[in-house]
Copies of this chain bind each other. A is one copy, B any other.
Amino acid sequence: MRQSEASRAGAGRAPVGAAQSPSQTQRALVALREMIVSNRLPPGSSYLESELAEMLDMSRTPVREAAVMLEAQGLVEIRPRRGVRILPLSTQDMTEIYEILTELEGLAAQQAAARKLSKKEIANVEGALNEMDAALATDDRDRWAAADKRFHDLLVAMSGNRRLQALVESYNDQVHRARMLTVHLRPSPTRSNSDHKALFEAIVAGDQKRARALHTAHRKEAMHLIIDLLQKHGFHQV
């Protein structure tokens, strides 16, 4: 029946340098995370394990396993007999997360400044910066947000601390919805772009103190901007 198709499709998909085998659990994890982050499973809504299993065309087992992982990441809550609930974030939650992110990314910026960056790393960051400028010129907010995310991801990767990278990614997932929401409500992020450039210069120059200070200030500002916007527009939860 259904499962056999699905597993064959899954097994047969593996293209050229496929990672390992896309296990059902992995599929569920990726699919659910994507659906949550993209707001297709809206915050506050609940789903029975069996519903999700049917959605993803697999049995409850891998869905459950993925749900456990997502709960560990703070994206959902598993409530006995009431299904998997997509966690909404209050402004309080947002504050908690941004405080942590600010801190961790500040550390990343400092460590990145302490390193000797490769040509490729520099080129990648410059690519992201240019992309942001281009997006700004046409006021393409989604494109800008994507490039902004890329810039921050690259920066954290440059820290060389893998755990730091994973951690920041995880928390970014949690606030992604809110960020996407406010990116269309906020004023044009010209200031943000110049911040990024100054920060990058400090990193390349190896000025650790300055890199950290600039980044921390940048993030704090972004945090206040987002939280104020959410409150002004009456989103007490996202």
Binding site for B on A (CB under 8 A): 64-65, 68-69, 72-74, 96-97, 99-100, 103-104, 106-107, 111, 161-164, 167
Contacts and interface: CB of A to CB of B under 8 A. Distances in A.
Contact of A72 (B73, B161, B164): B73
Contact of A99 (B68, B74, B161): B161
Do most interface residues of chain A lie in helix, strand or loop, or is the interface mixed? helix
A96 B104 CA distance: 12
Contacts of A100: 104, 107, 161, 163-164, 167
Contacts of A162: 96
A48 B175 CA distance: 37
Given A65-B68, A69-B72, A72-B73, A103 B99 contact: no
Nearest to A102: B107
B96 A103 contact: no
Contacts of A106: 103
Contact of A64 (B65, B72, B164): B65
A103 B107 contact: yes
A163 B96 contact: yes
Contacts of A104: 100, 103-104
